[in-house]
Amino acid sequence: MVASTPQIAAPSPLSPPALVPGAAARWSRLAGAASALALACVAAQRPGLTVAVVADEHRAYRLEDELKFFAAADLPVHHFPDWETLPYDVFSPHADIVSQRLSLLFRLPSMGRGIVIVAADTLLQPLPPHAFVDGRAMAFAVGERLDFHALRERLEAAGYAAVSEVRTHGEFAIRGAVMDLYPTGSDQPYRLDLFDDEIETIRAFDPETQRSTDKIDSIRLLPAREFPLDDDAIKAFRQRYRQRFDGDPGASAIYRDVSRGLPPGGIESYLPLFFDQVSALTDYLPGDACVVELGDVATALDSAWRAIADRYEQRGVNPERPILPPDEAFIEPATLKSAFDALTGARIVDDDDGDAVFAAQPVPRLAGADVAATGRALQTFFESFEGRVLITGDSAGRREAMRDWLTQLGLAPARVEDWDEFTRGNKRIAVTAAPLEAGCVLTADGLAVIAESQLTGARPPAKKRRRAPVRDPETAIRELTDLAPGAPVVHQDNGVGRYQGLIKLAAGGVENEFVTIEYAGGDLLYVPVASLHLVHRFTGGDAETAPLHRLGNDRWSKARKKAAQQARDTAADLLEIQAKRESAPGVAMTPDEADYAKFAAQFPFEETPDQQRAIDEVMADLSRATPMDRVVCGDVGFGKTEVALRSAFVAVSSGYQVAVLVPTTLLAQQHYQSFADRFADWPVRIGALSRMRTSKQRDTLLEEMTDGKLDIVIGTHRLLAKDIRFKKLGLLIVDEEHRFGVRHKERIKSLRAQVDLLTLTATPIPRTLNMSLSGLRDLSIIATPPESRLAIETFVSKYDGVLLQEAARREMRRGGQIYYVHNKVADIERKARDLAELLPEARIRIAHGQMHERELEQVMLDFYHRRFDILLCTTIVESGIDVPSANTIIIDRADTFGLAQLHQLRGRVGRSHHRAYAYLLTPDDVSMTADAQKRLDALASLHDLGAGFALATHDLEIRGAGELLGEGQSGQIQEIGFDLYRQMLERAVAAYKRGEVPDADADELMGATEVEFSAAALLPEDYIPDVHMRLVLYKRISAAKDGAALRQLKIELIDRFGLLPEPAENLFAATELKLQAAPLALSKLEAGPDVGRLHFGKASKVDPGTLITLVQADPKAYRLEGDAKLVFFRDMPDMATRVERVAELLEKLGAPRVNETEEAVAG
């Protein structure tokens, strides 16, 4: 019953009055988390849907966190997301946001008990009519008949985009009898296999590996956009556009793009031109839905409407992009308020006057000037409050810290997992981990909830997340995935030229596909696709200065020979270093398996495949008695810290100490917090050594390290000082190695031979990368992003005030924050004034390295807790604390930063499920160096997630590859390219390991067999239409190291594109023969209808005795032509026979078939 006067017993948030749609009862005195608790309880009582409307998107996310803590497990909580764009924006919402919205819109009309959260300004965005969402939905089941051509038209009409490879929501691809599609609202894409016109199988597949997983019976498809793009819709749009706007419609880019069936960025602002009538979210709600308004929703709607009107005034002057007035482009606040009159059951207000005045009080002020004062205030609270108290920590580590502190105060708290466990129990005081900003006191119920921030000041909360292929560091360079026409490539026999694309040529009546390479003087070389193992990307210098060789000139052979000699010498040095490393006394660390499994299980996310592989590699290294030296390269936020945590656990549980070395005090604090959180439930002592500690605290720490009382110590370069002594140091973890100077690196190097070394980096500097790829240091790459992590949209632009306003306001509108990097302390105050003039509504604070440590820490924590909007800072934030709500970064004079630094700064944003934006501001082109321009272009082109490794290879190109064992930045690598040099080095090392001395002759170091069988051996265009994809697959097939890899590739192609056509089967057969011939070091295999030839290279391994015996035994069938060729005569009418005859001959010469070799190895 609603309490209308103070005399009536006030309701409790645990048993709120029933909601009556249209009653709009005012609920007051719901302090802190009490409003979320009351909402969870009232929604649980109702059979129908409860809609929570809040003032803005920031509050929506906060409420979602709170509700998920308080709501029972069987009460679903949904969030209808905002477009996350500005009114009349030139950007469209991300496909994943559209997918989430459409999925919810489809289910809303029939949704039962549960809660849907929506922000007031999101309600102003018009929606398609329900008939569109419902009518465009499609369902497919195994056994159904399907016309691919008609389906393609339906999919395109529903907004799906035809692509060559499906990666994200709203895409489809058709390849022969196989269709891939990623339905809106689905968690995974699907692959449909047809037999004739019947669906034979439907399988889910992984968008990263493109390999299929589970079979399913049926799927449902929703439209991919919130508007149609079929012929009728385009016709209706054009007609309405001409009626609505004067002048020549052809002058408008919007009109032209829609006419061509292309949705331009920001088309959502023109949604009313696609439909006779648009809908509001209130039109989708089921009949028994009831609205609860939290805060002043009416004022929020009016404020958002004024912002729309202001944007209309700014934007309404562009004749190329005319826009609809607000009352046509958006839902008016009056319309929504009218709908709310019939739907609103309660309004939660901030004042004390209401129809229901709840018995919920705010938590009294407890945070004192210091910890002792806070403790006294808390004890006073316990004396005056007789009920039960739940204290929440922001993470497991903070929960344990709270528990320890409360125990010291003599309060003995229990640990509970969640709200349900607390309410069912009877403990007087309990602690839990929960994302609450403020608690509440429920006097009548004898319960109180106190959030950590109300005791200690703010701390960063922990977030959960979760998503596949292994990225081989070498193939990242070797594969031709990012090759554009004009890019330099290296052909092993002919040198450096420019790639010009794929071309089909007929030779001897057989059509095959060739890669075209242009050399100096315009000469063209056509390389058969089966010989693509001879072609590599040129890495080692930039594209413009890459040497261009002339065909038939000896410059290339000289350069290659010189490089081969250097590879031989370097290989000897490498093996010497490796031998020293392996003979050095190390320690084998083996933790208790049950303890380690328990520790690993406490990781709150699912490991990505790359991350798991990196963990396994580190665990294997630690278990060996030789010192580990491994670099883990992973983009910012991809889970490198967890690899460090697991290795630290193994070291500590094996009885050793761990040192974690970081470049900045802020990062030391963040790592300290991460380690404290993860080791909260373990008897492990952790300390942080930094300038934030007093000298007395530092002395105590140093003493404990020396005595072995401290298990893990985290610190800056102070850890490398000569006076630092560990009792039993076993593992050194170095984060962001590129931030340390040469002197510090030398000190790390001296430790490397004695302890296990683990280096974490987002962008390894080129020499580190060079060493890792050459086997001097081991390399693990984490290239798989966590689920829901979106790539960072990167823009390179001249300084523009209007652009800055848009970028900042777009971010603030969705409840986010902005980093503004200005790397000059001298005029940072003036920059703050300029920004305040541009953005008067924004709250701006400054952070730089010359500030006092504690002041700097406070600014960063205030930024974390959203107490201001824009952090104007120097590169001090490069390795700062994670701020998931900051998703826009603006970097002033980006041309003055190095590539690793830019990548690291850009990685400050995009740490949540929101689309992140990075704006790199530059002066005029004339003021920038060519290298700076290249760095910015590289960063803008590699906005993919996991780009850190690729960026390091770009840096390798920009700066030139560092020589392996010297500090020089040039060498033979620049003449022949890093990849080819690395291959030579690999072969030389392998020869030494076999006990052979490699000949300095380059050909021996590079051997590869060419296959020519007078039959089409290619991937036909009608099988794989995309040129770029064919090129990549040709390279992968050609580079397969053994029969198993080749078989896996064949399975993948059949899985993705359907059964192999004959030319593709021929290509695989030729490659298998190439692998079989490799041990004999033959230069070429030829076979035609009645004759074949085996060409011997200079370094051929064919036994002369076997050869002579073969010829003498059957002189009619075999003939030697000098010492360079063996000719054989056989009836070989087709490709299959040729393959079989050549395989038989190779067997006779001592090269077993690929399959047999593998079986022997397996056996």
- Ordered by where they begin, the domains of the chain are 25-127+278-357 (3.40.50.11180), 131-221 (3.30.2060.10), 371-456 (3.40.50.11140), 586-777 (3.40.50.300), 792-942 (3.40.50.300), 1048-1162 (3.90.1150.50)
CB atoms within 10 A of CB 582: 12
Highest mean pLDDT pick, 8-22, 572-586, 734-748: 8-22
Dihedral angle sign, alpha carbons of residues 358, 364, 365, 367? negative
Taking only the tens place, the pLDDT of each residue in 264-312 is 888 899 999 999 999 999 999 998 999 999 988 999 999 899 889 888 8
- Mean pLDDT over the full length of the chain: 80
Q: Which amino acid, residue 49?
A: L
Q: Are 1024 and 1033 in contact (CB under 8 A)?
A: yes
Q: Is beta strand 1091-1096 parallel, antiparallel or unpaired with respect to 1125-1129? A: antiparallel
The H helix count followed by the E strand count for the chain is 39, 43
Distance, CA of 1117 to CA of 1148 (rounded, Å)? 14
Residue predicted with more confidence, 258 or 939? 258
Range 253-258 average pLDDT: 85
Q: Is beta strand 657-661 parallel, antiparallel or unpaired with respect to 778-782? A: unpaired
Q: Which two tokens stand for residue 225?
A: 């956009």
pLDDT band, residue 1155 (cuts 50/70/90): low
Q: Where would I find the H helices in 355-432?
A: 371-384, 396-408, 419-424
pLDDT at 440: 93
Contacts of 1029 (CB under 8 A, 6+ apart): 164, 165
Q: Please check the confidence at residue 871 and state whether its pLDDT lies above 90.
A: yes
Q: Please check the confidence at residue 831 and state whether its pLDDT lies above 70.
A: yes
pLDDT at 331: 93
Distance, CA of 346 to CA of 181 (rounded, Å)? 43
Q: Please check the confidence at residue 141 and state whether its pLDDT lies above 50.
A: yes
Q: Where would I find the H helices in 498-627?
A: 555-583, 593-601, 609-623
pLDDT at 957: 44
CB atoms within 10 A of CB 269: 25
CA–CA distances in Å: residue 454 to residues 196, 568, 859, 946, 1084? 67, 66, 18, 38, 77
CA–CA distances in Å: residue 342 to residues 2, 16, 278, 280, 290? 19, 20, 20, 15, 9
Out of 329-343, 615-629, 896-910, least confident range = 896-910
Residue 140: half-sphere exposure toward Cβ, Cα within 13 Å: 27
Out of 334-343, 573-582, 828-837, 1101-1110, least confident range = 573-582
Secondary structure percentages of the chain, helix, strand, coil, to 5: 40, 20, 40
Secondary structure (3-state) at 216: strand
Q: Where are the beta strands (DSSP E) in 281-415?
A: 290-294, 344-348, 356-357, 388-393, 414-415
Determine phi and psi for 1007, rounding to 5 degrees. Answer: -30, 135
pLDDT band, residue 51 (cuts 50/70/90): very high
Q: Are 629 and 777 in contact (CB under 8 A)?
A: yes
- Cα–Cα nearest to 816, from 884, 881, 878: 884
Taking only the tens place, the pLDDT of each residue in 494-523 is 888 888 888 887 766 777 788 888 888 888
CB atoms within 10 A of CB 728: 10
Tracing tokens 């050869």 back to the chain, one arrives at: 1107
Residue predicted with more confidence, 103 or 937? 103
Determine phi and psi for 890, rounding to 5 degrees. Answer: -115, 120
Q: Please check the confidence at residue 642 and state whether its pLDDT lies above 80.
A: yes
Highest mean pLDDT pick, 346-350, 674-678, 803-807: 346-350
Range 13-40 average pLDDT: 91
- Cα–Cα nearest to 179, from 800, 188, 189: 189
- Cα–Cα nearest to 1026, from 180, 151, 190, 221: 180
pLDDT at 59: 87
Q: Which two tokens stand for residue 323?
A: 């826009």
Tracing tokens 């026999």 back to the chain, one arrives at: 493
Model confidence pTM above 0.95:
no
3-state secondary structure labels for all residues of 61-87? HHHHHHHHHHCCCCCCEEECCCCCCCC
pLDDT at 880: 61
Q: Please check the confidence at residue 474 and state whether its pLDDT lies above 60.
A: no
Highest mean pLDDT pick, 118-132, 173-187, 624-638: 118-132
Tracing tokens 């006419």 back to the chain, one arrives at: 259
Taking only the tens place, the pLDDT of each residue in 1032-1065 is 788 788 778 788 888 888 888 887 887 888 889 9
CB atoms within 10 A of CB 866: 18
